Copies of this chain bind each other. A is one copy, B any other.
Amino acid sequence: MPERSKTKTKILATALGLFNNEGESQVSAVDVASVMGISPGNLYYHYKGKDEIISALFEDFEEEIRMVLSSPISEPLSLRDNWVYLYIVFEEIYDFRFFYRNMSELLTRIPELRARFSRILALKETTVFSMLSTLEEGGFLSFEEGEKGALAGRIAQHFTFWLQYHDLRHGTAPPKSLIDQGVFTSLIQITPYWHEGDGYANLLREFLEGQD
């Protein structure tokens, strides 16, 4: 993370909490200042308005998610670590949910984030492809031609839209338990490609049964 003054760090943490819980469109920079008990002028001295705050929050998210997404590419996951790993990815996204719930509007308003977000999506696909390849090489999964790439693409798409779909479908703020549901829906996409009777199948079954 970039080095920041204590006040800047506090502004970002406060804004993130408010954006996530109240909805970004409902919160102004003045609200952030007022929750912190500082004057709007003081806040403005640190960040020139809401979009600068969002850019700084995006920078932090970008750094974290890139680190998380790169790890199974540089070092293959052990079998048992796969679903914990997926949980971590969904949790990172959940912690930045105000952005994911409203990304098309925010990317129109702050265009400099567009290319950066697009690179994160590409990295998501590479990461999932790499996880699936490790499982395939270990003899746990098998694919017909084209299936692996298509599966990686749609799990990456699922990471990206699972919160927004919940919003649109149910019209309510996503509860934290939606992370489990995100992991579940990813795993159940992988299960058809597993080899019956091996350890991975059992691990997945354990997780899936725990969900009922």
Contacts and interface: CB of A to CB of B under 8 A. Distances in A.
A158 B157 CA distance: 8
A193 interface: yes
A118 B192 contact: no
Contacts of A212: 146
The residue in A102, A105, A167, A212 that gathers the most chain B C-beta atoms within 10 A of its C-beta is A105
Interface residues on A, range: 35 or more
B154 A189 contact: yes
B157 A188 contact: no
A104 B107 contact: no
A164 interface: yes
Interface string A38-56: 0000000000000000000
Question: Can you list the 10 inter-chain pairs with the closest CB atoms, starting with the nearest?
Answer: A192-B192, A105-B105, A161-B161, A150-B188, A121-B169, A157-B165, A102-B104, A104-B104, A118-B169, A118-B171
